[in-house]
Chains A and B, each alone.
Chain A
Amino acid sequence: MHIDWATLAEIAVVAAAVALTVVLLVAFAIVGSSAHSGLRASASDAGSAPGTHPAAGMVVAVLCVLGAGLIVCYGLYLIIA
């Protein structure tokens, strides 16, 4: 019996890295944008990420969404190509 452990490990590492990166990017985007919307609501500190400047939060959110979008586009390319 021959199990291709090397390829399997490679799949696990690549997939884990990509999945973690995409999910973290989206999570950071959500936290960033919640800092922004927290200012708009401006009623209380509930709902905003503490210690984040709203504009900076929005910039981070846009950057993160852009990063995640690029990775998704690469995934789409892999499917089509």
Chain B
Amino acid sequence: MDGTWIVIVVVFTALIFDFTNGFHDTANAMATSIATGAFAPRTAVTIAACLNLTGAFLSVQVANTISGGLVDEKLISPVVIFAGLVGAILWNLTTWFLGLPSSSSHALFGGLIGATWVAGGVGAINFNAVLNKIVMPALLAPVVAALIAMIVTYFALRVVAPAEPGGVNRGFRRGQRVSSSLLALAHGTNDAQKTMGVITLTLVTAGMLAPGSSPPRWVILSAGLAIGLGTYVGGWRIIRTLGKRVSDIQPAQGFSAETTSAAVILSSTHLGLPLSTTQVCTGSIFGAGAGRRLASVHWGIAGRIVLAWSFTLPSAAVVGAAASWVAATGPMGVIVVAVSGIALSSGFYVASRRNSVTADNVNAEVPDVAPSPAADLAA
């Protein structure tokens, strides 16, 4: 099989993954700012898009391994990467359709694990690393973030209690503009690198780039543009869930949640134990909701989100495994996987139009009885 065309397919698929990563994660930085009116919805996604693009150029550190040691890297071929990316993209679209935040990194790792499993058997998976690097942090990150955000929100509300509410809200909204922008920038430096790493290592695997090379300029630019464009399109369904359905988020809570998220993400990155941005941000928002009044949090939504998180790795792995099995049969197999993936993605898009969420209705009140895919699923 001529290697060039599969590399082109992988690069294209990686950029699509980057795009879904962008629109899936807009909510992390901007959901509460949009909910409290710190930013108008369109302004929020435009700023987040610009900062994500800027972030892509700021950080030059690209991972040396695609999976971070979760699977036997020697077995990772362009076909395996392609299958893993397809699994990740489809899981991202599923959770977006349901309006649930979930980690794009975990989806990518899940897809790669499934695809490698098919390519090299169960022995190629380092289950110990999966447990330590994915499962345990996934359990602990949201809890830690939620506890910190709860304490911070409680104290913030106590301190500003004597002041006039209008001034308090104005002050915290100003703060939110800074804190959410900082989060968006941090997201760009972290997540754009992921796709750059995938593309660069694919080029190295195919012998088009010397091992240890930095990503070529076109890779940096295209990865930055893909994540920026995805962010600009805005995952409005997830923004609505985090901004409006978790709790009635006020500016003090939004600011506390975003500040906590930024503090946890930056400290974890610099202490060498990176945590999932999505899980930290989601945990913070729940904690900030609970910090005002425990009963104001819709715990049913928390249950659905936790359910989605526990399914992220296995679901993406199953799709990745199936895609890897078909794609390994040759060019025809790759075409079958690509066409099926495109068809399924279009299906999600069309189905989402049934009750579409846009910049215009993202802040509309969502009654508990409103028909939503997530509610349908839970019913």
Contacts and interface: CB of A to CB of B under 8 A. Distances in A.
Q: Do A and B come from one complex?
A: yes
Interface of A: 1-4, 7-8, 10-12, 14-16, 18-20, 22-24, 26-31, 33-34, 37-38, 46-50, 68, 72, 75-76, 78-80
Interface string B113-154: 000000000000000100110001000100011011101110
A61 to B, nearest CB: 9
Given A24-B155, A31-B159, A49-B162, A14 B260 contact: no
Given A7-B271, A12-B144, A31-B162, A22 B132 contact: no
Interface in B155-202: 155-156, 159-160, 162-164, 166-168, 171-172, 175, 178-179, 182, 185-186, 189
| Consensus secondary structure, chain B interface | helix
Given A18-B263, A78-B266, A30 B178 contact: no
B132 A79 contact: no
Contact of B167 (A4, A30, A76): A30
Given A19-B260, A47-B167, A75-B182, A26 B151 contact: no
Contacts of B162: 31, 49-50
Nearest to A28: B159
B182 A79 contact: yes
B336 interface: no
A58 B149 CA distance: 27
Interface residues of B, number: 52
Given A16-B151, A19-B148, A23-B156, A11 B267 contact: yes
Contacts of A50: 162
Contacts of B140: 8
B255 interface: yes
The winner among A7, A12, A68 for most chain B CB atoms within 10 A is: A12
B267 A14 contact: yes
A50 B275 CA distance: 42
Nearest to B188: A79
Contacts of B263: 14-16, 18-19, 22, 75
26 contacts: A1-B128, A7-B272, A8-B140, A8-B273, A11-B268, A11-B273, A12-B147, A14-B263, A15-B260, A16-B151, A16-B152, A16-B263, A19-B262, A23-B255, A26-B255, A27-B156, A30-B163, A33-B171, A34-B164, A34-B168, A37-B167, A46-B164, A72-B178, A76-B185, A78-B269, A80-B189
